[in-house]
């Protein structure tokens, strides 16, 4: 009887340790931001007002996780309506034809301390490229409703020309490189 009980307890611990956890983005506590050089002398900052995302993890950390994030380019917000309309046009995101930007991934590898590396496929317009981005894991806590939440952030740079955003291909007026900053809080489902 004792062996049966110990076997049951070990099986339960193993299942719990490797249980998949599903997390979804809390848009009230998350943001997707960008920064791009303008005319070589200043910067334009902006964000996307609408996005979705989910992460699947083994337990309560990012290691060996999978992720899927969707950004809606029609919701770009730089604080200037005329510029935002131009950014959603065919010159830039062509948001009517390509209503989603997607970053979905296959691997999350743990680095030192609270750092991770996310490898996935970034799709903007009609181009999909594999990219690697760093992430800093903020940890897991309970929110005001008593639900578990997970936090992480990431900062990386992409070349917009790689994704057929060809307006001003010289980069003289609008730089080629775009700095992206992601801040996510996800709620355990």
Asked if the structure places residue 70 within a domain, the reply is: yes
Asked if the structure places residue 64 within a domain, the reply is: yes
pTM: 0.86
Asked if the structure places residue 120 within a domain, the reply is: yes
Asked if the structure places residue 13 within a domain, the reply is: no
Asked if the structure places residue 142 within a domain, the reply is: yes
CATH code, domain carrying 137: 2.40.128.110
pLDDT for 119-175, tens place per residue? 999 999 999 999 999 999 999 999 999 999 999 999 999 999 999 999 999 999 999
State which residues form the domain around 78.
20-188
pLDDT for 60-71, tens place per residue? 777 778 999 999
Cα-flanking dihedrals φ and ψ of residue 114, to 5°? -105, 25
Asked if the structure places residue 3 within a domain, the reply is: no
Inter-residue contact 69 to 48 (CB < 8 Å)? no
pLDDT for 29-72, tens place per residue? 999 999 999 999 999 999 999 999 999 998 877 777 899 999 99
Number of domains in the chain: 1
More confident residue, 105 or 122: 122
Asked if the structure places residue 15 within a domain, the reply is: no
Identify the pLDDT of residue 2.
53
Tell whether the model's pLDDT for residue 3 goes beyond 90: no
Identify the pLDDT of residue 179.
98
Binned at pLDDT 50, 70 and 90, residue 101 comes out as: very high
Asked if the structure places residue 12 within a domain, the reply is: no
Tell whether the model's pLDDT for residue 5 goes beyond 50: no
């Amino acid at each position: 009887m004792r062996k049966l009980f110990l076997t049951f307890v070990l099986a339960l611990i193993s299942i719990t340790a490797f249980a998949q956890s599903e997390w979804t983005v809390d848009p009230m506590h998350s943001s997707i931001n960008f920064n791009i050089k303008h005319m070589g002398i200043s910067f334009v900052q902006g964000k996307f007002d609408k996005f979705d995302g989910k992460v699947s993890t083994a337990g309560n950390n990012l290691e060996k996780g999978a992720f899927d994030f969707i950004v809606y380019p029609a919701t770009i917000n730089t604080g200037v309506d005329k510029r935002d309309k131009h950014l959603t046009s065919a010159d830039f995101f062509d948001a009517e034809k390509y209503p989603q930007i997607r970053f979905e991934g296959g691997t999350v590898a743990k680095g030192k301390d609270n750092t991770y590396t996310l490898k996935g496929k970034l799709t903007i317009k009609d181009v999909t490229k594999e990219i690697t981005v760093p992430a800093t894991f903020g940890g897991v806590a309970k929110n005001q409703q008593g639900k578990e939440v997970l936090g992480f952030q990431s900062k990386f740079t992409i070349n917009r020309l790689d994704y057929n955003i060809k307006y001003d291909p010289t980069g003289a007026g609008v730089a080629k490189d775009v700095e992206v900053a992601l801040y996510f809080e996800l709620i355990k489902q």
